[in-house]
Structures are given as C-alpha cells and as structure tokens.
C-alpha cells in the first residue's frame, strides 16, 4: 500500500467520524443517560466526586464522566453537551488505530468504527464509546505483549486499559474474563499466562469498586437488579431480531466495500491470524454475555446499545477472516466514503434526514437551548412527578430528566416502583409521610386532560407472545406498570395541567381514606 493511498484512506475515515460528530453536535443526541454522565462530569470538575447534588451515584460508573470532565474546556452542562461529542470522536478514532495496529487488517479496523451501530452510539453521549475504546486498547496491548513479551511497559498498558474498562461499564468486568479466554485461544497459552497478572489486577480493582459501591449505596451497581419478567422464549425471539437488525447495516457495508474491489478479491487459504481470531471470538463472547445478562436481569432490551458491539466485532472478525485482496491496497476510498455517508445519515433511521429538512423551517442549537428544558416558576422543595412537560427541544434528539427540569436540589418522588412489584396507593402515601408540606407539589402539567393521564397510567410491560397452532394473530400477555388501586386514586386526584400543593392532595377524602386503611 502506498503512503499516499494509505493517508487518503485514513483521512476518509477521520472525515466520516468528524461528520458524525458534527451532526451529533448540531442535533443534540442527548438521552436520559447522557444527562447523568454530564451531571457527574460537572460534579467531578467542581471537586464533588461522582455525585449528584452531594449524593454518591453508582448507577453510572465513574469512568466515562471522568473522561468527559478531563476533555471539557468548561464545567458547564451546555459545554459538556458539545465537548462530549469531541471526546467520542477521539475515542472512536483511537479505537480504529488500535485495531489496525494490532491486526494490520485495514478492512477489519474500518468495519469496527464505520458502520451504523458504532456511529449511532458515537453520536450519543454514552459510556459505550469508552467501552469500545477499552476493548480495542486491550486488544492492542495484548498484541504488543505477544510480539514483545519482555517489554514491561506493554503490561502496564494492558492493565491500564482493563482497569479503565471496569470503570467504563459494569459489563466490562465479566467481559474481561472472556477476553482472557480469547487471548488463550487466539494467541496461545504462553501469551495468556503472561497477561494473567494484568487481568487479575483489573479483577481485584473491580471487586474493590463493587465493595465501595455496596458500602455507599447498599448495592454493587448502585441499584437493585430485578429478575427479567419476560417469558424466556420472548427474550430469545427479541435477541434474534435485535441481532438481525444490527447485522443488516454492517453486512451492507461489507458487501459494498468488498464489491467495489471484487476484481482484487481472493478466497483466503492462509492460516487465520491470531488478531482476527481474537476479534471474532470477542464478538461472539460479547453476544453470549449480553444475552445471558438480559436473560436473567431486567434492564435495557436487546438493542444497539446492549448487543451492538457484539455484532460489530463478530462480523468484522468474519470479514477479516474471509476477505483478502491480491494486492496490498485498501478498499476503494469512494466506496468507503459512500458507505460512511450512508451510515451517518441513516444510522438513526430517518431522524437525521428529517432534522436536516427541518433546518429550513426553524432550528434551535441544542446546547444553546438547555434553558427551554428547565422549570421556570416558584422555588420547589419536593415534586411528585409522572411525566415531564413537553419542550421545544422534544422534537429533536434531546431528552429531559427531572433533575434538569426541576433542579438537582429538588427532592423527586415518583409512583413508578423500582422493584418487581408495583407501588400501591397506601405505600406511596406512606412515602410522603416525612415530606415537609412547604414547597411540595404534585406536577400534573404534562397532562392536558384526565384522559391523557389515564393513557399514561395504562402502560403495560410485555411479558410474552402466545402463538396459536392454527394461525391467527398472536396473543399478547403483559402486566400493568401501575397497581390498579394506585391508578384509581391518581385518576381521582388529578388536576390536569396544574401543579397542586401536596397538602391539597393529601387532604382529599380519597387520600385520607387510603391513609386511614393503611
């Protein structure tokens, strides 16, 4: 490969990542989780540790907020919204470099970062970007140890990536064990044993982090973990559908990149390199781990965030295994640019084309419009909330969260249970016993009518689909998210479109009757 062609190819990869970053800055891509990462980064910049309003928060590991805090020029949520996209760009670019340096396989490195899954995740302020960086960095360090087993600095580099990964996302710790198995199978027993101490150090650090979280919050990951309520066959179907959905766009990229240089393709008859085997096994291991964790525990469904990287690594490994070119040249740059542009524009469905179309009729720069998400009214001390009012930014890719809308110092109470049993009216009223009446309100402003509120309270969790042997539509089984008694009481007390003082709600006959019976 000539220096000029390689330089142009790398510039094209950087341009695609830069375009993705630019669109993410322009259109927001801030989810509920993103705000928590931003708030934690803001707290870190102010010397308050990983805390929210002075309270230690372990639900979101501290690694990604620390990275945001280190790369942000100013400790302000609006600036962090923008700088987080630059952080993601650097993490993805570094991931590409790590994979290429470790494997010398330009196609495999390209597929890991230039695909709809990775680019969509990269547009959001999500810790998965740091997770991919740590996985690719671990891969890079292992390859260096395999080639230069007597250079001790590489062992320190491996330990650094492993420890950082444990602080990026909790799933990285069990995945690190899988990576050790992949090292053994791909690079051999000798290399695996050389790296064992690094994996052991990371394991000890992670156990210490879990112990600290348990001491501070009562839970190793900062919250109770509920058993998955869905039927097992339903989860298996959802997993297969999610894998297929993630794989479709990646396979399309492989077909275009390979098809553009079809006259230089040759079926691989060479022995598969350890690097390619490592990536392939890591992808399969990630998919297996993600499947088992969601199969046992209720959290995000199988989707791009939970299984996407597993699909990416698996297909990139397969492409690296079977696709070769007769000449040492990269894939066609025009094909790379075409795939990259399509992935960036359509990685979020039709959302970005719609956003681009809306530029002609009116546009709000998300980072400059954060104030539109914030409550403007008399000071509040406690808020019983259900759903946040709509804002002008709701039409974009910027979510709102109660801590931003009402203020981080406001005590927030919601009737949505965080256990596998719905909150009852009696238990909910009991939670309000120690709430001072001053500055306490029930916020019904998000609901224009009782009917809207009833629709909100009628939400259900899907449990299973039952299929008939004789055809016809499947029977849907689900459970209500709200206890029927609690729902009836809330429908009775609502004053649509208003904030109602808690004392007025608690003095109603239905409230007093429930409190007396409990």
318-327 exposure pattern, b = at least 16 Cβ within 10 A, e = fewer: bbbbebebee
Q: 345 and 424 share a domain?
A: no
Q: 397 and 344 share a domain?
A: no
pLDDT value at residue 366: 83
- Asked if the structure places residue 370 within a domain, the reply is no
For the CA atoms of the chain, what is the radius of gyration?
25
Which helix H or strand E contains 51, and what residues bound it?
strand 51-52
* Cross-strand partners of 457: none
- Residue 180's contacts (CB-CB under 8 Å, 6 or more residues apart) are 192, 195, 196, 199
Mean pLDDT lowest for which of 26-35, 216-225, 321-330, 336-345? 321-330
Tokens of 82: 């923008």
- Asked if the structure places residue 368 within a domain, the reply is no
How many domains, in total, are found in the chain? 2
pLDDT tier for residue 395 given thresholds of 50, 70 and 90: low
DSSP conformational letter for 471: -
Q: 448 and 510 share a domain?
A: yes
Is pTM beyond 0.85? Reply is: yes
The residue out of 355, 389, 419 marking a domain boundary is 355
- Asked if the structure places residue 360 within a domain, the reply is no
pLDDT tier for residue 396 given thresholds of 50, 70 and 90: low
Cα angle, residue 120 at apex, residues 119 and 125 outer, rounded to 5°:
105
- The number of CA neighbours under 13 Å toward the Cβ of 245 is 16
pLDDT value at residue 388: 87
The residue out of 308, 324, 355 marking a domain boundary is 355
Nearest residue to 16 via CA among 126, 111, 124, 140: 111
Residue pLDDT, tens place only, 415-458: 876 666 778 888 888 888 888 888 899 999 999 999 999 999 99
Q: 163 and 261 share a domain?
A: yes
Across the chain, mean pLDDT equals 89
d(CA 316, CA 139): 14
- Asked if the structure places residue 361 within a domain, the reply is no
Residue pLDDT, tens place only, 465-498: 776 655 566 777 778 888 899 999 999 999 999 9
- The number of CA neighbours under 13 Å toward the Cβ of 8 is 14
d(CA 384, CA 500): 10
Residue pLDDT, tens place only, 223-233: 888 888 888 88
User: What's the mean pLDDT in 51-60?
Assistant: 90
pLDDT value at residue 225: 85
Range of the domain at 494: 375-516
Residue pLDDT, tens place only, 447-460: 999 999 999 999 88
Q: 308 and 382 share a domain?
A: no
DSSP conformational letter for 393: G
CA 447, chain centre distance (Å): 29
DSSP character string of 138-201: HHHHHHHHHH-TT-HHHHHHHHHHHHHHHTT-TTHHHHHHHHHHHHHHHH-HHHHHHHHHHHHH
pLDDT value at residue 358: 81
Residue pLDDT, tens place only, 116-144: 999 999 999 999 999 999 999 999 999 99
Mean pLDDT lowest for which of 105-114, 223-232, 283-292? 223-232
Q: 191 and 294 share a domain?
A: yes
Biggest alpha carbon distance in the chain?
83
- The number of CA neighbours under 13 Å toward the Cβ of 73 is 6
d(CA 154, CA 512): 67
Q: 480 and 451 share a domain?
A: yes
Q: 111 and 33 share a domain?
A: yes
Residue pLDDT, tens place only, 159-192: 999 999 999 999 999 999 999 999 999 999 999 9
- Residue 93's contacts (CB-CB under 8 Å, 6 or more residues apart) are 13, 14, 17, 113
Q: 256 and 346 share a domain?
A: yes
pLDDT value at residue 459: 87
Nearest residue to 258 via CA among 360, 370, 118, 110: 110
Q: 323 and 387 share a domain?
A: no
DSSP conformational letter for 240: H
């Amino acid at each position: 490969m000539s220096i000029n062609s390689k330089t142009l190819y790398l510039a094209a990869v950087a341009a695609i990542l830069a375009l993705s970053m630019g669109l993410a800055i322009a259109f927001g891509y801030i989810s509920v989780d993103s705000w928590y990462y931003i708030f934690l980064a803001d707290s870190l910049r102010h010397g308050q540790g990983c805390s929210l309003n002075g309270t230690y928060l372990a639900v979101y590991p501290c690694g990604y907020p620390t990275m945001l805090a280190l790369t942000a020029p100013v400790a302000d949520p609006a600036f962090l919204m923008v700088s987080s996209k630059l952080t993601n760009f650097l993490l993805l670019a570094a991931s590409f470099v790590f994979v290429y340096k470790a494997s010398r396989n330009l196609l495999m490195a390209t597929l890991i970062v230039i695909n709809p899954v990775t680019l969509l995740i990269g547009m959001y302020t999500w810790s998965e970007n740091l997770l991919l960086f740590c996985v690719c960095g671990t891969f890079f360090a292992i390859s260096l140890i395999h080639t230069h087993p007597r250079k001790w600095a590489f062992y320190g580099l491996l330990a650094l990536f492993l420890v950082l990964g444990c602080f990026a996302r909790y799933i990285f710790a069990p995945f690190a064990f899988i990576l050790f198995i992949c090292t053994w199978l791909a690079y051999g027993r000798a290399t695996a044993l050389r790296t064992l101490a690094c994996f052991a150090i990371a394991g000890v650090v992670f156990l210490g982090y879990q112990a600290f979280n348990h001491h501070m919050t009562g839970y190793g990951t900062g919250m109770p973990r509920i058993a998955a309520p869905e039927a097992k066959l339903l989860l298996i179907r959802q997993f297969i559908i999610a894998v297929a959905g993630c794989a479709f766009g990646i396979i399309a990229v492989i077909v275009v990149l390979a098809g553009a240089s079809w006259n230089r393709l040759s079926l691989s008859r060479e022995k598969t390199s350890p690097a390619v085997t490592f990536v392939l096994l890591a992808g399969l291991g990630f998919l297996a781990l993600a499947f088992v964790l969601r199969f046992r525990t209720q959290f995000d469904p199988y989707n791009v965030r939970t299984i996407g990287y597993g699909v990416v690594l698996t297909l990139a490994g397969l492409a690296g295994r079977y696709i070769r070119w007769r000449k040492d040249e990269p894939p066609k740059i025009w094909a790379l640019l075409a795939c990259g542009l399509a992935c960036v524009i359509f990685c979020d469905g039709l959302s970005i084309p719609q956003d681009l179309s809306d530029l002609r009729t009116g546009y709000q720069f998300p980072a400059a419009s954060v104030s539109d998400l914030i409550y403007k009214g008399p000071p509040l001390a406690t808020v019983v909330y259900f759903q946040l009012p709509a804002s002008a930014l709701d039409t974009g890719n910027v979510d709102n969260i109660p801590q931003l809308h009402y203020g981080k110092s406001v005590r927030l109470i919601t009737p949505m249970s965080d256990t596998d049993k719905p909150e009852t009216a009696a238990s909910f009223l009991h939670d309000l016993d120690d709430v001072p009446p001053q500055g306490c309100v029930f916020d019904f402003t998000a609901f224009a009518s009782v009917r809207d509120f009833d629709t909100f309270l009628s939400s259900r969790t899907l449990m299973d689909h039952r299929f008939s042997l004789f055809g016809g539509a499947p029977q849907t089984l689900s459970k209500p998210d709200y206890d029927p008694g609690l729902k009836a009481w809330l429908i009775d007390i609502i004053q649509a479109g208003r904030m109602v003082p808690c004392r007025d709600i608690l003095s109603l006959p239905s409230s007093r009757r429930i409190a007396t019976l409990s």
